[in-house]
Amino acid sequence: MHLRRDYVKFLTQLTKPFIGIHILLFILSIMLSVIIITQSLEIGKVIDFILTNHQYQISQTLVVILLILVSRAVIQSLIKYSGHLLSHKIKNKLRNRILFKNNDAGELMNLSQQGVEGVHPFFADYLPQVYKSMLIPIIIIIFLFKFHYQTALIMCITAPFIPIFYIIIGINTAKKATDQMLSLNHFSNYFLNVMKGIMTIKLFKYDDKAMGKIEDYSVQYKDNTMKILKTAFLSTLMLEFVSMLSIGIIALEIGLSLIVFKTVSFYVAVVVLMLAPEFYNALKDLGLAFHTGKQSSGYGDLIESSLDEQVQTTNISYHQKNTIAFNNMNVTYPDSDYLLSIDTELPMHHYVIAGPSGAGKSTLAKVIAQLQYATGEMTLPEYLKDNIVYLSQDPIILNTTIMNNITMFQNIDENIVYQYAEQLKLHDLFKNMPEGYDTIIGQGARQLSGGEARRLMLLRVFVQPKALVIFDEPTAMLDIDSERIINEAINKLKDISTVFIIAHNKHTIESASHVVRVKNGRVSIHDKVKVSEVI
């Protein structure tokens, strides 16, 4: 991670499409600077009149001051609104990009909520403050060089100490914010996994250890948060100290010039003393916003890392032949010495994919289905383009109606659905539910058994057939009736699709006309085989 160097660049680049808001912030900051100076001049006139009894139309000046104060409040509100508008637009853009990335469920949820909200202060607070803190001090110094140059010189000498102090103190905030975000990511992922597997955890009496680990993650997140707060308080203390010391030096110089040397008028002294806090407050506010920006950078760095992760895709080409050609393909996994080499040609037949457990049968199937990255090149028949489906052992049941789960929200003739549901012995089951095919199933609703869910998954393939269907042990851990129904359905499916089946079952392997053997990191093609030859 190049956090120190790149985080501002990444977050700032996100604002490029919104150049209009940048221009608006620039103009509003200049207007605010002019109003601050005008306010000090007018208030200085009133104070000078009250304390020195000069003849002056105070009522007219009070009206001007009132208008200035209202204008200042309006401009401040517009600057704040512009920052929040910019933040809102960028957060929506970030969420859309994050949602289309392949992130872990816990990380996805955390980044799209906590992570995106974490960069809000950078755009809503820090960026508008940068404009104000650049323009207000510069315009005040330019004015004071003509109005009272000694004060302008003091400001030029003391002003750099404020950014130096907040850079020194706040430089670690980004790292601490990153640690906080990482600990929250780990916490979210673990908590989500515990919730998903709560029944298994209770079954194996692992709940005490799981609760202990959740507590550890919670304490770690709390500690990281407290470190950030400690840095924030220390940063605020030092900024207040430097600002107070600088204003004190200016007040001392003005006091000596007014009382001892008598080189300035009372009016000039009042105006200078009113502008000094405005000058240092602008820099001090940047320091506080800088701390907020550094905290946002921690979130921004993680978002950037997530968005920059390139999803590796296998090199795929297509030809007119009726074969799948693997050219020097290799599959590896991080932090593992596993290697699956595929360098063969697979004529399009119905295949059983067999081999020892862990040999790479599912990996091979996912490579063909383009769900697993592999080096080298795979050449598929032209008709298989976007025409392959991989069915795992864990059917995905959506939290919607049975009909939507079958059709996947496509417009499919109900009679076709009923016909294939009858073949899979599901029609009566669905019809007898409270709302028939409109019954809601899935999480928090009517649950299907393992066999019913597998048959529903197979039903999807019948109503929306694909040229190549790959099954990953379709009858594993099912009762005899469900196994028989699924096997009969797969045999019928072979009339309309090419079928690859990952299998351990002896009968399935030995009855297959064509077998793909995956063993010792190699893939080979066979006709009739015995189980002992592949397992």
CA-nearest of 501, 430, 420 to 468 is 501
Dihedrals phi, psi of 44, to nearest 5 degrees? -60, -40
Calculate mean pLDDT across residues 466-474: 93
The tokens describing 111, both together, are 């980044």
Please state, as a whole number, how many other Cβ atoms lie within 10 Å of the Cβ of residue 462.
Answer: 21
Distance CA 271, CA 172 (A): 38
What are the strands, taking DSSP E only, across 333-414?
339-342, 345-347, 351-354, 375-381, 388-391
Distance CA 363, CA 361 (A): 5
Residue 412 DSSP label? -
Dihedrals phi, psi of 188, to nearest 5 degrees? -65, -45
Calculate mean pLDDT across residues 405-431: 92
Whole-Å CA distances, 301 to 4, 73, 84, 503: 10, 35, 21, 44
Specify the pLDDT at position 311. 53
Helix (H) or strand (E) holding 319: strand 315-319
Who's near 113: CB < 8 A, 6+ residues apart? none
- Range with the poorest average pLDDT among 125-139, 222-236, 432-446: 222-236
Specify the pLDDT at position 5. 44
The tokens describing 120, both together, are 């809000």
Distance CA 322, CA 320 (A): 7
Specify the pLDDT at position 312. 62
Structural domains of the chain, ranges and CATH numbers in brackets = 3-306 (1.20.1560.10), 315-534 (3.40.50.300)
- Confidence band of 56 (pLDDT split at 50, 70, 90): low
Residue carrying the six token digits 């103009």: 27
The tokens describing 90, both together, are 């960028």
Would you call 252 exposed, middle or buried from its count of C-beta atoms within 10 A (0-12, 13-18, 19+)?
A: exposed
**Which residues sit opposite 508 in a β-bridge?**
none
Classify 70 as helix, strand or coil. Answer: helix
Whether the pLDDT of residue 310 is over 60: the answer is no
Alpha helices (runs of H) in 171-265, residue ranges in sequence order: 173-196, 198-203, 207-255
The pLDDT tens digits of the residues spanning 392-401 come to 888 888 888 9
Q: Is the pTM of this model over 0.75?
A: no
Higher pLDDT, 426 or 395: 426
Distance CA 173, CA 181 (A): 12
- Confidence band of 320 (pLDDT split at 50, 70, 90): very high
Whether the pLDDT of residue 2 is over 50: the answer is no
- Confidence band of 424 (pLDDT split at 50, 70, 90): very high
Q: Say if CB 370 and CB 326 are below 8 A apart.
A: no
The tokens describing 153, both together, are 């010189």
Distance CA 439, CA 244 (A): 70
Specify the pLDDT at position 61. 83
Whether the pLDDT of residue 315 is over 70: the answer is yes
Distance CA 127, CA 116 (A): 16
Angle subtended by helix axes 149-158 and 266-308, to nearest 10: 30
Distance CA 383, CA 114 (A): 44
Specify the pLDDT at position 24. 97
The per-residue pLDDT of the chain, averaged, comes to 86
- pLDDT > 70 in the chain, percent: 90
CA-nearest of 326, 466, 342, 322 to 382 is 322
- Confidence band of 4 (pLDDT split at 50, 70, 90): very low
Q: Say if CB 293 and CB 166 are below 8 A apart.
A: no
Distance CA 395, CA 473 (A): 12
